[in-house]
Amino acid sequence: MPAQQQNQKSPPAKCTACRQPMSSPLFCDNCHCLHPADGSSHFELLSLTPTFDLDLALLRHQYLQVSRGIHPDYHGSGAEGDMSVHLSAQLNEAHRVLADPVLRAEYLLELHGGPAATGDKSVLAGVLTDTLELRERIADAKAGADPAALQECHAQIERRHATALAQIATLARQLPGADELRARLRATLNSMKYYQKLRAEL
Ligand SMILES: [Zn+2]
């Protein structure tokens, strides 16, 4: 395994039942018992160091490995089976969030105590006007059955989306940072939602 991949993995915990080191916090490689994960972060579930620049191949590898260890097929029915189903759902959610750069940045911001989307709706300057104008141009292009104009709108949205994503990455790499940085990341993530929505509408 390359050094960078090793650096992204956190040290193993020990099984509370047999005291052997565990490669995943969710199950013991030695005695195969399952471990509750309440309070564990998405990164912890996958034994990954919390960082924006995740090695996606390692993320996939960890996900598949842990999935196999906790899979309901291997843990029968009853309490063990219920826990297996519960842990699998937690693991799937962790993988879904961490595999997506925008959701990953959002999650890291939350981990670092940044402002939540529910409480801070601020967006970057010009985003509201910009999306409003784009929406009008899309409506005009559709009304006028103008595929070239529609194509241009599409290209512009893609550019805005790529710019916002690059800004999110730059800011998320600097977490935890100061309040100002976290506020700016919040505003950039909020702005991104406008472009994602426009993208979905097209
Ligand atoms: Zn054990």
Domain CATH code at residue 53: 1.10.287.110
* Domain assignment present for 71: yes
Calculate mean pLDDT across residues 108-130: 95
Which domain-ending residue is among 61, 81, 99?
Answer: 99
pLDDT tens figures, 140-149: 999 999 999 9
Q: Name the phi and psi angles at 48, rounded to 5.
A: -120, 145
For residue 76, the model assigns a pLDDT of 78
Position 119 pLDDT exceeds 60: yes
Q: How far is the CA of 78 from the centre of ligand 1 (A)?
A: 19
Number of domains in the chain: 2
pLDDT-derived band of residue 77, with 50, 70 and 90 as boundaries? confident
Q: How far apart are CA 101 and CA 165, in angstroms?
A: 8
pLDDT at 65 over 60: yes
Identify whether residues 71 and 19 lie together within a single domain.
Answer: yes
Token pair recorded at residue 201: 């509408």
pLDDT tier at 1, thresholds 50, 70, 90: very low
Distance 2 CA to ligand 1 centre (A): 28
User: How is 24-78 classified by DSSP, letter by letter?
Assistant: SSSB-TTT--B---TT--HHHHTTB---SS--HHHHHHHHHHHHHHH-GGGS-SH
Yes or no: say if 95 and 63 are a contact pair by the CB < 8 Å rule: yes
Structure tokens at 67: 């999935």
26 CA → ligand 1 middle, Å:
11
Lowest mean pLDDT among 22-36, 84-98, 161-175: 22-36
Residue 144 domain-assigned (yes or no): yes
Considering only 72-81, 113-122, 165-174, which range has the smallest mean pLDDT?
Answer: 72-81
Residue 96, both tokens: 């879904």
Give the domain range for residue 65.
3-99
Gap from CA of 33 to ligand 1 centroid (Å)? 6
112 inside domain: no
Evaluate whether residue 163 is within a structural domain.
yes
Q: How many CB atoms lie within 10 A of CB 108?
A: 24
Inside any domain, residue 142: yes
Average pLDDT, integer, range 94-121: 96
Distance of CA 105 to the CA centre of its chain: 6
pLDDT of residue 34: 92
- 41: in domain: yes
Which backbone phi and psi does 27 adopt, to 5 degrees? -150, 155
**Distance, CA 59 to ligand 1 centroid (Å)?**
24
Same domain for 49 and 91: yes
What separation in Å is there between the alpha carbon of 48 and the centre of ligand 1?
21
User: According to the model, what pLDDT value does residue 8 have?
Assistant: 59
Distance 179 CA to ligand 1 centre (A): 42
What is the residue-averaged pLDDT of the chain?
A: 91
Ligand 1 centroid to Cα of residue 21, in Å, is 8
133 and 95 within one domain = no
Q: What is the pLDDT of residues 6-48, one digit of tens each?
A: 455 555 678 999 999 988 889 998 998 899 888 899 999 999 9
**Residues 13 and 70 placed together within one structural domain of the fold:** yes
Structure tokens at 71: 């899979």
- Residue 114 located in a structural domain: no
Query: Would residue 35 count as lying in a domain?
Result: yes
Same domain, 95 and 22: yes
Helix/strand/coil for 21: strand
Q: Is 79 exposed, middle or buried (0-12, 13-18, 19+ CB in 10 A)?
A: exposed
Q: Domain boundary residue among 84, 99, 114?
A: 99
Using the mean position of ligand 1's atoms as its centre, give its distance from the Cα of residue 23 in Å.
11
80 and 27 share a domain?
yes
Listed in sequence order, the residues at least 6 apart from 185 whose beta carbon sits closer than 8 Å to its beta carbon are 105, 109, 114, 168, 171, 172, 175
Cα 143 to ligand 1 centroid, rounded to whole Å: 65
CA 126 to centroid of ligand 1, rounded, Å: 55
Give the Å distance between the CA of 34 and the centre of ligand 1: 8
Band of residue 188 on the pLDDT scale cut at 50, 70, 90 = very high
